[in-house]
Structure 1
C-alpha cells in the first residue's frame, strides 16, 4: 500500500547534544520508514522548525529553556491535533507525565533512554499515522490511553490505593464495570534468575516477556496487561471467558516458554466487578500461585473458595498473616516473633491435624517470603530449603521454632542490607533533602535511592515516621513556600509555580486550592502583608 511506503517526518528537540546524537544513531529510522528532518535545542527554535518542516512526530525533552515541552505541545496541537508528541524526561515524578499525557502526548519515557522502548513507541506512532491516513474520522478524544497512565492507574488500584480516581478523572473504566477476572503471570525461579542476569540482560528479558504477554493478550481477549512486580505481570479478562480459565493459562504459559525459553506459572482469581476490587482479587490470584510450591512444578493454578484443604472447615488466620507482612515491611523483629507465637496458638485452639497445620504454615511462609521478595530484601535465602526442613519436623513447636530461627536471620540480614542507619535518621535525612529540593522535579525513586532503601520500604518508613506519604510531604513543602511568597511579595501567580516545583501554573493553582481551600489569588488577598 502507498501509505506503507511513505516516510513520516520527525523532529528531535533536546538541549543536550549527546541525547540528539544518540537518538540519531541508535534508532533504526530507515527500517521504521521515518526521516529526521530537523533538530532544535529549545522550544522556541522547535516552534520555528515545526512551522518550516511540518513534521508528523516530535520527540522532545519535557524540560527545556525558553519554552518547555508541554507548552510547546499545547501550542502546536492547537494548530494540528494529529501531530504525535513523545516526551523524554530525566525525572520520574508522575505529575508531569500525567499532565503531558492529559494535554495530548502520545507517550513518555525516562532518561537514560531505553532505545528498544522508544523504537516500540515509534512503531506504534507510525501505525497511528497510517490509520489516520486511511480513516480521517478517528476521534482524537477517544484514542487509546497512554500505556504509562493506564498501567499506573491499574497498579495503584491493585495495591489498594483509591486515590488515582481523584487525579485521573479523565480516564474511563467502563470495561471493569462488568464481570472480569485476573491472571497473575510470574516467571518461575525469578530470584535465582536475577542473580545470573546482568542489569542489561534483566531489562531485555523482562522487555521480551512483556511484549510476548501483551501480544498474546490482544489475540486472546484480554482487556489490559500491566507489570506489577519484577518478574510478574497482570492480565484482566472479561467474565465471559470464565469457562476457559485453565486453557487460557496453559496457552499463555506455552507461548512464553516457546518464545522466551523461560518457564512461568499463572494464578487466576475468581470473578468480580468494579475497578476498586483489583486490590481484593490480586491476593487471591497470587495465593493461587503458591500451589506451585506444593506441587513443585510450573502450571496454571485457579483460586478456589477455600483456603486450607481438609475434611472440615478451617479458619485461616488472615489477620495474623497481614500483621506478619506489616512487621516485615517495617522490619519489626520482635513483633514478628510474637506473631509467630500467636499463629501457634491459633493452630492449637483448632486442634488441627499435623498435615493440615503443616499446610497452613507452609502457605503462610510462602506469603511472607513473597513480602521479602517484593521489598527487594532477599539475599541468598532458600525458600525450598525451609519448606523441606518443615516437612521433616514432627511437632508444632519445632515448626514454629524453625520459622522463628529462619525469619529472624532473614530479618537481621535485611536490616544490614537496607541501611546501617536507623530508620528515623534515614527518613530525617530524606526530609532534609526534600526541604532543600522541593522546587525540583523530585521523584520517589531519587529520594529512596538517596536513603538506600527499596521504594516499597521507603514508602512504609516515610509514612510511619513522618506521618505523610512522600507525595503529601512534597506537596506540603511546596504549598508552605507558596503561601510565604504570596504573603510577602507581589510575584505573580504564574511566576510562583516554577519556584515551588510546578511547571504548569494552572495545575499549581488546582493543587493550591485543594490544599488550602482558596486559589493563590484569594489567599494573597486575605493574607498579604504590606510589600513596598
Structure 2
C-alpha cells in the first residue's frame, strides 16, 4: 500500500476525502492528516508519505508553500492539489513547481479514482527504477543554487558545479534581486489573477532579453517568491570588480527603463556588492536583500545599490527596529500602552523621514504587515473565530496627512488589541491563557471541562475557579462564545448546511446548536446565513 496524507484546514473536507472512495481498492492507505501546511511539514518528518492531497489555500502554510518546501527538502512525493474555480492560477503555479495533478472542488469521485490509478502507476515505475539503479533522491541544480545563495554547502560548490552542471564560473560574481512592485504590494487575492502571472513572465522575458544583448557574458535568472527574481551575473577573473558593477548597473537601468516605458510596470531592484570569488555568492545575495529594505526609505521603482547606502545608514535613516519589536510584543500581550507606543514610533519615523508622507505610507504599510504577521504567528487560531480580513488588509495609499495615518493606525491596532483581550489571551495567569489557547486551537472539536483540565494537568474545580476569577466569565460561556463566532465565519465563508456546521463544532443536536446560536446572535443559523448572503 502507498501511504497518503490529507491536508486541509476544514475537518469536514478531510473527513469527506477519506470517505469519498475506498482508497485501499487503488493501493493507497490514508496514514495521517493535517489541518494546514505547517502541520503537514511536521508530519512528513514522522511518516514516510508517498502521496499528498492538499488544499491550495490554507492558514499559515498554503498548499503551494507546502509543495515548495517539499521540493526544497529534496523530496519527490506526489502532490495532488485541491483547487476552487477561482484558484486556477494557484493550480498553474503548483504544476510549475512539480505538483502531480490538481482537481477542482467539489471533488468528483471518478476523477479522483483516475488520478489514483495514474499515481499508482507512477509510483510503481519509480520503485522499479529505484531498485534497478539504487538512486537516491535527485537534488535539482536549481535547489542547489538556492542553497548556495543562502550560504549552505559552499565547501561542496566545485563538486556541485561539475556534477549538476551549474551555471557558475570561477571568477567575479554579483547578485541582484528584482521585485515587481505591483505584485509585491498587492494582497494575496490579487496574486490569483492570471494578469499577474502574465506580468511575471513578461518581466522574466525582459530581463533575459536585456542581459543576453549585454556585454555580461554569464548570467542566471531564478524565480524566488511570487513577484521576485534573483539575477546572478559573473565575469572572468581578469575583469575589474568596478567594471562588473558598472556594467551590471547599466543593464539594470535598461531593464528598469523598459519596464516603465513598455510594460508600464514599476520595479524595485536591490543590488549586492561584486566579489572576486564565486564562493562569496551568498554575501552578494544578502547585500541585495539588505539594499531592498531601503525602498521603505528611498522609495520604490528604483535601483538601490548596497555600496551606496553608507551615507543613508549613517545620516538619513536608522530604523528603530527594537522599538518595533517592543511594540509587537506589547500588542501580542494586549497591553494598554500599546497605542501610545505606536504613536511614539510613528512620530519618530515621521521625523526621520522629514515628514515625507509617501515614504511614511510605505514604511508603515510594512510595519503593519510585521505586526499582523507576528500576531498571527502567535495566535493563528484567531482567524477561526474572528474575521480579520478588514483589519489585516489595511493600506495607506491615498492617505494624505500624518494625522490621517495616525488615526487609521490607531483605529486598526486598537481593534486587534480588543480581539486579543476579548478572548483573554492577555492573561497574566499562564494557566488561564493556556486554557483559552486550548479552546481556540480545538474550536472544531467537542471541548469539555474534563478534557481541558486533563490537558493542563489541573483539577476541574480549580480551573473553573481561576478562569472565572481572571476572565469574568465561566469556562462554558467562553467556549460557547468562541464556537458561536466560529459558526458565524463558517456560515459566512463556506457553503455549509446548518447541520454540517453543528456537527463540525461538536454539537450532536442541530436544534440545540440553533438555540444557542440564536441566543448569541439574535438570529437562527438559517436566518443569519440568509442575511449574510
Same fold at TM > 0.5: no
Q: Name the TM tier (shorter chain).
A: 0.3 to 0.5
TM-score of the aligned structures, taking structure 2 as reference length: 0.42
TM-score of the aligned structures, taking structure 1 as reference length: 0.42
